A and B are shown apart, each in its own frame.
Chain A
Amino acid sequence: MFNRREFLKALGVGTSLLLWPSLAAADSPLGKRRLVVVLLRGALDGLAAVPCDSDPAYQRLRGSLASQEGVVAPRLDGTFSLHPSLAFCHRLYQAGDFAVVHACGLPYQGRSHFDAQECLENGTATPTGSRTGWLNRAVGSLGDTQGLGLTSSRPLLIRGPAPFATWSPSAHGTTQPSLAQRVAALYRQDPRLGPVFERALAMQQMAPTDIDSGGLLKDTLAAAAQFLAAADGPQIAMVEDDGWDTHARQNAVLSRKLEQLDSGLAALHGKLGERWQHTAVVVITEFGRTVAVNGTGGTDHGTASCILLAGGAIRGGRVHGQWPGLARLRDDRDLIASQDTRAVLKGVLRDHLGLDLDPLAEQVFPDSRQVGPLAGLIG
């Protein structure tokens, strides 16, 4: 297998092709920065990932969910611990590279996954508020950069006019390089498809070949790391995962799912090397779940969940934001949202990528001027 430069040369593309025309100066302080957005679909139970287990109400309401025999949850502080599956995250926390913003929620108040995901992705208060995604608009506002979705389709979060490429591993193996070259020659005759196909091939070369195609979150995060680590790689990446809708057998399901997330972040940390210092990972979900256990060992659709932050760029080792506690619940069932999810995202986009307040309040999260960025998440 020849290297990417030779591959591009064989394609006749030339070595001047900038795959990922990053910020004008890629080695400038801002140009070095990387952002990974991890979207967990189905509603992560924030109180399972980051339990407030020193609160007696927690033990009482959670019932069978609160106790996992023989397992000791690593502590974060006097109020919170971390799910035992998040062992690597706990190490990062101790090193100051992992933080939590608890009790985050969207302006959308319903309990439909579908509508809430639309809102989480379109960055507005309503499911039909925009037909493009806030991450795409963030790339557009930054200018001179582009994003990569580790997805086969184009989810709403990355849809829009700004350049956002896609890549996903495949169970069907890889294309033979000689076939790819022949097809590239055909595509060069097609002005719409030619440039896109060349990018596909170049990404194929940059892409990991040792990634399992089962679509597990840890593999997708490892693949993301491979792209982000490249000097001319994308600055912003988006990863998604589903299956977080734990109406039944939550303990078993979440142990497995959170372990995936934990290993994925470990892979990201390992593969990014020095670049980890300039990276922020933001893990978001559409809403939280009921505080109390339901009748099938799970939880139902709720309101607030937590946002997990990882990376060398994060001001870690702490739980950020206001904590509403469990004394009062929304509709007597859900954790109250004391942070607007958009405030957290704005805080990261402003302090990590240097986006200004105006584009944040108008383009990226339309009509959101009243929601100020949450300060202190970065640095």
Chain B
Amino acid sequence: MTTTLVQAEIAANRFGLGAGPGELAEIAKDPQGWVLAQIDEAERAPLIDPLAALPSTITYLERFDRFRRDHAAARRRMSEAPANDKSTQSLPTLLERFGAMKQAEIQARGRQQCLSPFPVLERWVMFWSNHFTVSADRGGVQLLPGAFEREAIRPYVSGSFSAMLLGVEQHPAMLLYLDNAASVGPDSPLARSARASAGRLGLNENLAREILELHTLGVDGPYQQQDVIELARAITGWRTRLEMPPSTEAPALGPYGSLFHGAAHQGGERELLGRRFAAGGARQGRDMLRFVAGQEATATFVATKLARHFVADDPPGELVSALASTFQRENGRLSTLFRTLFSHPQAWQPQALKFRRPQEYLVALYRALGKAPSPDGSDWGQQLRLLGQPPFLAGAPAGWSDDANDWIGADALNKRLLVAQRHAGDASGEAMELAQQSLGPRLRETTAVALSQAPRNQALAMVLASPEFQWR
């Protein structure tokens, strides 16, 4: 019983999103089985309301396009009749126009994470979302990370890595975030006609570089600058409706509003990592992505990141090798990777070595108290900002760090205590009960003694702020 409770705590806290009331006893019946079964739910687990009802990327892009056109028209009116600039000055800003929508996305995602009956699967989604970070820090991209996760991450989490890679890199959010939508083949018809009219259009390597550096081979991977350029050329023309002149037609690149704009594409045969790829429009870039997805360096890079995220900042070597060889043997099948990870003894080692990131911490706190953010509030984003992990805003394509050193700061610990204190103030029940339900055998004897000596509200806050609650 004790052994399985220890394992249940690891299953719920290290691999899941934190134990809620009554869960540890339930999970203890078969901790590993509880974890492993969740990947089978990937295709049928429904989204928690209201996440399921939020707009798609296509809808967001249309709204953003309208917003942009309104502003462009206002600028034209202004330049024609500069004296009469009253109308332009009253146009809403991006935040005024879309702030409520952004907030609804944030709140709905918080609910999903707090309420999902498959928290390990949800963590798995969070991992891949962070691996393929789209940070909401500019222009139309601000509206898209939530839809991106629903469309380009969730449907692929039990399929193959290469399918996810293709879904992600062709999604409008990624094409906009990493500037590929603005990238034009230097010898493409579009660039030639721009040169004729003294305009400047050219290659943008940003997405291609991050695909190799952050999404597949890793920064130490076997690629050169020339590979970055070749991949960047191959994916020229992968854009969204936002860059298309109103009357142009282009074939869809994927189901979510991205297009293949042939006039911006740099045609021709090319070479990547020593292998030749025939010319073939959008197909060339896809072929390259599939090829890169199957490289040994990709297997090792992904394996290391998985072990680092779920088990230890300094990931155990055997676990990394096991994951890498599963990745290679199974053609990057993510469901098999999931099973390898969560059935490996090193993943279940007793010490809690991972410091919860703010988002994981807040979700665990809510789950421990058996609650979830309301669908129409704004408190979820506020708390995440307070705790130092603003939602959808990692700020860099590398995503949120998985190194405790980046998170353990004086202000961070103090803010956690503040949040714990606030939630304890609203909580019912007894602290010992809360501690046993959320931490199980992880609860230290000294903590238990300290709880028994504190007034109830303080003791509840102490559970949620305790060192045991910070590590998983």
Residue positions of A touching B, CB distance < 8 A? 63-64, 112-114, 118, 128, 151-154, 156, 159, 165-168, 170-176, 178-180, 182-183, 185-187, 189-190, 192-193, 196-197, 199-201, 203-204, 248-249, 294-297
Contacts and interface: CB of A to CB of B under 8 A. Distances in A.
A114 B138 contact: yes
Contact of A197 (B75, B387, B410): B410
B467 A165 contact: no
Nearest to A297: B89
A172 B412 contact: no
Nearest to A253: B93
B411 A249 contact: no
Contacts of A151: 411
B89 A249 contact: yes
A167 B413 contact: no
Contacts of A189: 444, 446, 467
Nearest to B408: A196
Given A167-B411, A174-B418, A152 B462 contact: no
Nearest to A243: B95
Contacts of A199: 410
B351 to A, nearest CB: 12
A171 B383 CA distance: 10
B74 interface: yes
A249 B444 CA distance: 57
Contacts of A112: 138, 179
B137 A186 contact: no
A294 B404 CA distance: 45
A193 B75 contact: no
Contacts of B387: 152
Contacts of B71: 296
A186 B466 contact: yes
A196 B408 CA distance: 8
B437 interface: no
11 contacts: A112-B179, A114-B137, A154-B406, A176-B421, A176-B458, A182-B454, A186-B447, A196-B409, A197-B414, A296-B91, A297-B88
Contacts of B386: 152, 170-172
A199 B411 CA distance: 9
A152 to B, nearest CB: 5
B6 interface: no
Nearest to A158: B409
B421 A295 contact: no
Interface stretch (B76-84, B110-118, B167-175): B76-84
A168 B375 CA distance: 28
Contacts of B396: 118, 156
A182 B467 contact: no
Interface in B371-401: 382, 385-390, 396
A176 to B, nearest CB: 7
B322 interface: no
A294 B75 contact: yes
Given A114-B138, A295-B88, A296-B91, A185 B450 contact: yes
A179 B424 CA distance: 12
A193 B408 CA distance: 7
A172 B418 contact: yes
Contact of A200 (B76, B413, B419): B413
B446 A168 contact: no
A154 B390 CA distance: 12
B408 A170 contact: no
Contact of B410 (A166, A173, A185, A296): A166
B461 interface: yes
B74 A175 contact: no
Nearest to B458: A179
B104 interface: no
B88 A296 contact: yes
Nearest to A189: B446
A159 B406 contact: yes
B470 interface: yes
Nearest to B387: A152
Given A170-B418, A182-B454, A185-B450, A165 B78 contact: no
Given A186-B467, A295-B76, A172 B419 contact: yes
A265 B446 CA distance: 47
Given A185-B450, A193-B467, A175 B409 contact: no
A159 B396 CA distance: 14
Contacts of B78: 295-296
Contacts of A295: 74-79, 88
Contact of B388 (A63, A153, A173): A153
B219 to A, nearest CB: 9
A203 B77 CA distance: 54
